[in-house]
Structure formats: structure tokens, C-alpha cells
Structure 1
Amino acid sequence: MDLAAIGSFKARLRSLGAGCSGMVAVTRKLSEFDSGGWLVVDDVCDGGVVAELNFHFLESRGNRLHYNITNATPGPYRGAKLGISRNGFLGLYHNASVTGFWKIELLGGSAAKPQIYLRNHEGTRVGFTVRQENISRSTPVLVERSFLSVTESVLRFCLEDIVEL
């Protein structure tokens, strides 16, 4: 599938990174003090749901495609914009001002499942940071999760289940 030709689309992201492989998921809000809405790589989706993202095409520049990205996953973060926290983590924001766009660099793969680097508007590639997170509303259950970030290692992603918007 030629992403530049179709323009805007909806898709899921799969991380292909060593030590960090699986579907990208959205964390749940567990309490009034927990913001939720963070993007994590989660092979079992424990405490989150697989993220479906809308890629709203802006332009093509060289070998990069520029998009605004919003969440299409049913639930409280539906329609929220993908942004970066002050600490470099990728999250979904309804009220905060998200001004930067996102870049996709095509790396190959099949037409149905292209492999990409996802970059912020400054060109920094998205990677992951491992942190502990509570995944229970009642008793603390801590698990290590790979949070998407622009602060550490770099990930290669595969776009899956692509649907033209």
C-alpha cells in the first residue's frame, strides 16, 4: 500500500524491537490521580487496549511523510492527539496544546505491512523506556512496561490493519 498515495489512514502499530516487541497499547486511567493515556508496547495488553491511530496526512517532504496523529481506539482517549510529555513520553492529550506533527520514514516491509520509523516533528526517532506501572485498580500489581518515548533506544514499527480514511 502506497501511504503517500492514500493520504490519511487508520492503523495499529507493532513494535519490532529486540526486547520490546508487540502491539502498541494505550494505558487505562486507574484512579483520579493517574492520567493514563500513555502509549506502551504490550504483548498481552495487560492494563491497556491495543491502540488504533488515525494518521491525518499533511505533506510529503523528501523520504518523510508528515501527519497529525489522533487516537481512534474506543474509550476515554478517543479523538485525543498524540503528543510528547515534558519527560519525553508519548501520550494522548485532549486538552493540552499539541502543536508538533509526526513523521513517518518508510523502511520497507510488505505493501500491507510497511515497516517504519516514527519521528517527532524535530526528527527524533521514537523508542522506548522501561518503567514499572501499576495495572490494578484495587491491589497494587506492578509490571515492567515499555513506554514509547523520545528519550532512549530507537524502535522499528510495522503498520498493521491499514484502512484508508
Structure 2
Amino acid sequence: MDQAVQDGYAKSFTGRLYAIALEKYVPLRLSHSSDKWNWGFTPQDDWLLAGGDAASIQLEFVFDSHTDDRLHFHISLPNSGYPAKKLGVSRNGYLGFYQLAQVIDYWKIEPLEMTDEGLICHLRDHQGHRVAALRDTPHHNRQTMYLLSATEGEILTFLLQRNA
């Protein structure tokens, strides 16, 4: 693993993840049970979605360990109560935030490239599955939203930005 990646990211920090699609940075957001879909289903609170115009949500990355080509983190929502809500995978493979006791596995960051804007990477679950996107439209605000999944969909590349 590149020394610059280790120096900058092999530790705990807060930051933001953006999905990269069509050469654009797509923000991540949380679903709300009040989100209404014109067809399909109504998501529950705190599923992780990609889409919209707002800045990507703030995340806490707690460093666990690393291998030659992966950084391992527990990812949680800052200020989400006690215990903090941690990123996990539902029984159906969707990413969402759950209370600490329900999530014990770490996430793997696979560094691809360091840039001036942050670390380009793949996000993998503890079993090594790369996170992917499933289009789910139309959303009540008429924006295209994507559910994030560890089991199906189009594989995503991410930009990981540390807070200054």
C-alpha cells in the first residue's frame, strides 16, 4: 500500500464518501421513512442512498487494521446517540445504519488512487463484496436515487474525503 495512503488514511477520522458516476461526485444521504416513492416501496430510516444535491453525509471512520491492499474501518454516524449507529448490511444486502450491538464487522477500503480531492477507492463489506448501486426511482423530489447494496447492482467507485 502506498505510504501516502497509509499516512493519510490508516487512522481514525471523520469524513465524507461520494459515489463516482459519469465523472461526477454523487453525495450519499440517509433515507427517511417519510420519503415517499411514486411506486415501489417506502424505505425505512437510515438506509444509505446515493443521489440528491446536498453535501454527502458526515461519517466517522474508526480504524481497525490493514492488510497490504485494504484499510479496515468501523463506519458510524457521528452524533447518532449512544450507542452510535454503525454501517451494516441488511438481510437483503442493503447498506444502512444500525445500533452498535447489531454491527460487529468492519468495512474494507480498497485504495485505488490518491488525488488532490481525496482517496479514490472501492468500499467492500467484511466478506469482500464491493458496494454497488441499484437505481430506485421515481423519488418524491423527482431526483434519481440509488440504494446501495453489497449483493447486487452496478459496482461503485468512491471518493473518500477526510475532514481538515
The TM-score normalised by the length of structure 2 is: 0.78
Partner of 1:12: 16
Contact 2:131 2:149 in 1 (8 A): yes
Task: Give aligned-pair identity as a percent.
Answer: 27
Gaps of 5+ in 2: 36-41
Contact 1:77 1:92 in 2 (8 A): no
Offset at 1:78? 9.0
Partner of 2:48: 39
| Whole-angstrom distance in 2 between the partners of 1:10 and 1:3 | 16
- Note the aligned Cα RMSD (angstroms): 3.0
* Aligned length, in residue pairs: 153
Contact 2:18 2:56 in 1 (8 A): no
Offset at 1:146? 0.5
Contact 1:21 1:41 in 2 (8 A): no
Q: Which runs of 4+ in 1 moved over 2 A?
A: 1-6, 17-21, 74-79, 132-135, 141-144
Instruction: Please point out which of 70, 74, 81 is paired with 1:64.
Output: 70
Contact 1:14 1:159 in 2 (8 A): yes
Contact 2:5 2:114 in 1 (8 A): no
AA aligned opposite 2:155:
V
Instruction: Please point out which of 116, 119, 124 is paired with 2:124.
Output: 119
Equivalence map 1:7-156=2 (5 Å): 7-18=11-22, 21-30=25-34, 35-45=44-54, 50-72=56-78, 79-94=84-99, 97-110=102-115, 112-132=117-137, 135=140, 144-150=144-150, 151-156=152-157
Gaps of 5+ in 1: 136-140
Contact 2:83 2:100 in 1 (8 A): no
Offset at 1:128? 0.5
Q: Could you say which structure has the higher strand fraction?
A: 1
| Whole-angstrom distance in 2 between the partners of 1:89 and 1:20 | 23
What's the CA shift string for 1:94-122, capped at 9, x where partnerless?
26611221000100031551101000001
Change (3 A) 1:156 1:101: same
Change (3 A) 1:26 1:119: same
Offset at 1:129? 0.8
Change (3 A) 1:24 1:34: closer
AA aligned opposite 1:121:
H
